[in-house]
């Protein structure tokens, strides 16, 4: 189905804002900062699957960050694809582990991760989902400073030439 990507991203983030707003004593405080232009870009994805991916990246950003961290959510138009990114101020990922982060069951520091809960499947599933939509996922991270997870999704740019098909120009030339 075609969905408005800015709307979906805002909807996902609204839920994280509501969780923290409605919790008197949250395990962890966080603030979500949005840099989301009012794009009218339509992407052909499954809403619930993309929500699942963004939920996991957001949950990770919270889980692997200290209390009170700022999470920045960005949306950028790169012409043939939209790029969603989620930046945290958390633990970061050691260089040696960055290539494995999307592998099934891979977790940085097994003991610590086990204490945090989870299975280590979130990012592997996310990668599968995004690639099925023809997109890409990757991470840039500095250990001890934080991480940015990127999701790029292809879209058909609106093209004025397509509009001309109906207005007779093409017929006249024949």
Contact residues toward Mg ion (CB under 5 A) are 56, 60, 122
> CB of 9: closest distance to ligand ATP in angstroms?
17
Could you tell me which residues are beta bridge partners of residue 34? 73
Residues of this chain, 78-107, that bind ligand ATP according to CB under 6 A: 88, 90-93, 101, 106-107
Question: Which residues, including other chains, have CB under 8 Å from residue 173's CB and lie 6 or more apart?
Answer: none
- Does 70 bind ligand ATP (CB under 6 A)? Our answer is no
- Does 130 bind ligand ATP (CB under 6 A)? Our answer is no
Angstrom distance (rounded) from CA 50 to CA 59: 14
**Cα–Cα distance list, 121 to 10, 128, 152, 168 (Å):** 25, 11, 20, 54
Partner whose footprint covers residue 88, from Mg ion, ligand ATP, none (CB < 5 to 8 Å by kind): ligand ATP
CB of 56 or CB of 85, closer to Mg ion: 56
């Amino acid at each position: 189905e075609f969905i408005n990507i800015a709307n979906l991203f805002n909807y996902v983030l609204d839920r994280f804002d509501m969780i923290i707003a409605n919790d008197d004593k949250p395990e962890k405080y966080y603030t979500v900062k949005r840099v989301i232009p009012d794009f009218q870009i339509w992407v052909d994805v499954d809403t619930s699957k993309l929500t699942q991916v963004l939920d996991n990246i957001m949950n990770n950003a919270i889980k692997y960050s200290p209390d009170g961290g700022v999470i920045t959510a960005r949306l950028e138009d790169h012409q043939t694809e939209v790029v969603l990114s989620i930046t945290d101020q958390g633990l970061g990922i050691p260089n040696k582990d960055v290539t494995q982060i999307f592998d099934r069951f891979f977790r940085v520091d097994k003991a610590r991760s086990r204490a945090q809960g989870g299975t280590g499947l979130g990012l592997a599933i996310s990668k599968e989902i995004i690639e099925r939509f023809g997109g890409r996922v990757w991470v840039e991270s500095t250990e001890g400073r934080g991480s940015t997870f990127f999701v790029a999704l292809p879209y058909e740019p609106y093209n004025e030439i397509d509009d001309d098909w109906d207005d007779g120009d093409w017929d006249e030339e024949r």
